[in-house]
Each structure stands twice: as structure tokens, then as C-alpha cells.
Amino acid sequence: MRFAFDLMYLLGIAIYSPKMIYRILRQNRYRSGWKERFGNISRRSPDKPCIWIHAVSVGEVNAARTLIVQLQAELPDYEVVLSATTDTGMARAKALYGEELSVFYFPFDFSPVMQKAVRNINPAACLLMELEIWPNLAQIAAEKGIPLVVVNGRISDRSFPRYLKIKPLVQPMFARLSLALAQTEEYAERFRALGCDPDKVIVTSSLKYDTAQVADTIEGADALAAQLNLGDEPLWVAGGTGPDEEKAILGIFAELKKDARCAPLRVAIVPRKPERFEEVANLIAQSGFDSVRYSTLKNENKAAQGKPAVILGDTMGDLRKFYSLAAVVFVGRTLTPMGGSDMMEPAALGKCTIFGPHTFNFKQTVDALLSAGGAIEVKDAEELLTTMQKCLTDPAQARQIAAAGQNVIKQNQGATRKSVDAVVRVLRDARV
């Protein structure tokens, strides 16, 4: 079976390589980490037992924060190491943990590469964030008696039917899991349907509720407000945006500026992917609005001249600061079918949160927020315009929605404690 998966990987690489080469040459992606991707990984404390946490990208790295803190507190004799797959995930991991953890790119799942990586890391347990199960890793871990645990597990509405179609291939992989800690009962049932031992599937809620900082303000927000020269005028933050959304947001913003009730409004647009910063900067320039790139203010440590109507958030790690200053938040990658960006952060900060219909990556959170009246879902750009007008002209109603959303976050916290307790039990059982 291992040989069959290696052949499939080779075929996949042959098909995907032109796109990868294009991204290396034109988008400056995939240029680093090749040594680690081929299994050449070292640890800071090789004499200690090790817990290997794998997170794919920024969202999973962020979700692992409280997990890492509590694991270090509960298991001080263990070294925690962290891997990521994407460049943005690696950048975020290094920003958060580069000074204290071994952080590296996830190795390719080719059997000889993964064997080498596992030998070098020598984990006592491997924790996979959300659904990062790989067949060769699962088989090698089973052969070596390494517990494999899915943490913050979810199988999306899109992924589940695809897995069902190839269930004979993936069932052995799911069956090898020592534990699947699922965000919801619906996700738990999907893990069981794909081959997990029902006794090894536990519902814990989502770790992201715990990492979402419930607060009215956050550190650095006042400095950001000063750099933006932000006064009493409301700020609309469009965060984690994707292709085609920025153009729609600029069009909506133009209409809002014509409305005397909303005229003082300013907007901050923060694209999800850094490789799109230049593209969005050009769109903003074409819109004719007075604008500023936040990277310029941040790098030169200066404040904006005047009050530019449009701010491009073209830096990494500052989105939460923008959210903390917002009167209203639109969560991106939801007007187009991209699955959504994280809406927990603005809700936790007590912000009136709006998103579009395409939120399949955050189904449980969306259901919880909408059922409590803690967010607003719009079907398209036209409805986003009318909703923005309502929120800006009825701030009391906007504050009520914001308070309800923040309460949803508070009520759903606690997944970290459940997850750490489960991991400790797995490690204890593995030592028996």
C-alpha cells in the first residue's frame, strides 16, 4: 500500500509541478524549507521526549497557541515541536514560536522521506491539527507505536463526500488514529464513518474559541490608531479578503460615502494572502480614493498624512489590531466560494461581524453565531451594502449584535483543557 501511495504522489507532482514552478518564479513561494521537506529535521532538545504538532497554515498555527501553552505547562519534561506546510503558516509559526520551539516545514509524505523525518524527530506523539492525516505518516506511526491524534478535528461538507468516494483507500489511515478530537458531533460522526474507532472519537468544541481573545481592546491597537490618524470617524475593516471581493468592497464603500449618514466612514482592506498585496494596491489606486499602505507607515514608523479614506493592510500579524478598531467588520473569502476566513476573532473582540454565504470552512461557528443573533450573513454585495447602511445608521443595533457574538465565543471556550487531558491520557497509555 505504501508503494501505491508513493506512485500516486509522483503522479501528483508531475501534474502540479508547472504550477509550482510558476509560483516559485513569479510569486516567490516555495523557495525555502526544501531541506526540511525532505526529512532533514533537527530538534533543539533531542534528549527530551517530543510532541510533534503539525499545522498546515496560519489558521491552524493560530489555533494551536493555547494547546502549546498548556502542553508545556502540563508536560514540562517534553519538547514541543511545530511544523507547517505553507509559507504563510511557517512565517506565522516563526513569529509566534521561533524563539522557543523547533519550527520546520512538514516533510513530504513519500515513505522514505517520512521515515527519515520520523526518525529524526522521534516523537512520543504526533498531533495533527484539524485533518492533516497522511497515509505514509499514519502507517509509519502505527508501526513504531507512535500515537497519532487529530486535534480540533473537522471534515468539511466539501471534503467528506470526496473521502467517502475513496473510502477503501483512506479507511486504514483513519483506523490508525489513536484519537480524533472533533469540534462537533457532526464532525465526529464523519470521522467514525471514514473508519475511526467510535470509542476513540471525542467531541471537544473548537480550539479557536480559546485562542480568540475576548477583549474590548488589544495591545498595539492604540499605536495603530495613531498611525492611521483615526479619530471619531467609524472604520470598516474587511479582513482576510479574497479575489474579486476587494473590488466589490471598494464599490460598496463608494456608495456609502455618498450617503451623508455614513460619509465620515473609512475602510481598511486586509487581503488574506500576501502575494495579493500588490494586486489589491493597484485596485485601490484605480478606485480614485485617497489611500495609504500600512506597510509604509509601519516600516517608517510614521503616521498617515490626513485621513486617507482607504487603508491597505499589507502586513502580516496585524489583522486583529485592525479588527479591534473597527465599527463594523466584514469577514472575507465569503462573498466568493472560498470557504471563509476566521470570524471568531472579530466576534471575540465585540465587533459587529458580517460575512457572505460561502463559509463552509467555519460551519459550526457560523451556525452558533447566527442562531444567537451574534453575526449577520448576507447573500451578495448588494445585500452587504444595505446591511452596512443599517449597521452604520443604527449603532445600538450593531452593538447588540456584537455583544451577542462575543457571548457565543465565551460560551464555547474550553476545548484546550479537554484536548490536553486527552493527549496526556494517550501518552500515559502509550508508556504502559
Query: pLDDT 10s per residue in the chain (432 long)?
Result: 666 777 776 666 666 666 666 666 666 666 678 899 999 999 999 999 999 999 999 889 999 999 999 999 999 999 999 999 988 899 999 999 988 999 999 999 999 999 999 999 999 999 999 988 999 999 999 999 999 999 999 998 889 999 999 999 999 999 999 999 999 999 999 999 999 999 999 999 999 999 888 998 899 999 999 999 999 999 999 999 999 999 999 999 999 999 999 989 999 999 999 999 999 999 999 999 999 999 999 999 999 999 999 999 999 889 999 999 999 999 999 999 999 999 999 999 999 999 999 998 898 899 999 999 999 999 999 999 999 999 999 999 999 999 999 999 999 999 999 999 999 999 998 875
Cell for 307? 485621513
Q: What is the CATH number of the domain that holds 201?
A: 3.40.50.11720
**Are 151 and 199 in the same domain?**
yes
The CB density around residue 247, as the number of other CB atoms within 10 Å, is: 15
Q: Is residue 400 domain-resident?
A: yes
Q: Is residue 360 domain-resident?
A: yes
Q: Is residue 386 domain-resident?
A: yes
**Are 171 and 241 in the same domain?**
no
**Are 267 and 303 in the same domain?**
yes
Distance of CA 348 to the CA centre of its chain: 15
Cell for 215? 477583549
CA neighbours closer than 13 Å in the CB half-sphere of residue 319? 28
Q: Residue 90's closest CA among 143, 32, 47?
A: 32
**Are 379 and 425 in the same domain?**
no
Q: Is residue 11 domain-resident?
A: no
**Are 283 and 350 in the same domain?**
yes
Domains held by the chain: number: 2
Model-level pTM? Answer: 0.80
CA neighbours closer than 13 Å in the CB half-sphere of residue 54? 25
**Are 197 and 62 in the same domain?**
yes
Cell 467510535 sits at which residue? 198
Q: Is residue 211 domain-resident?
A: no
User: What's the rounded Cα separation, in Å, for the pair 322 and 119?
Assistant: 43
**Are 233 and 167 in the same domain?**
no
**Are 170 and 259 in the same domain?**
no
**Are 116 and 237 in the same domain?**
no
**Are 266 and 317 in the same domain?**
yes
**Are 175 and 301 in the same domain?**
no
Rounded to the nearest 10°, the torsion over CA 86, 89, 95, 101 is: -90
The CB density around residue 385, as the number of other CB atoms within 10 Å, is: 19
Cell 507607515 sits at which residue? 297
Q: Is residue 20 domain-resident?
A: no
Q: Is residue 141 domain-resident?
A: yes
Q: Residue 311's closest CA among 327, 291, 331, 332?
A: 291
Q: Residue 316's closest CA among 298, 336, 335?
A: 298
* Domain housing 194: 32-205+414-431
**Are 151 and 185 in the same domain?**
yes
Q: What is the CATH number of the domain that holds 375?
A: 3.40.50.2000
Q: Is residue 8 domain-resident?
A: no
**In 1-158, at which residue ranges do the beta strands (DSSP E only) sit?**
50-54, 79-84, 102-105, 125-129, 148-153
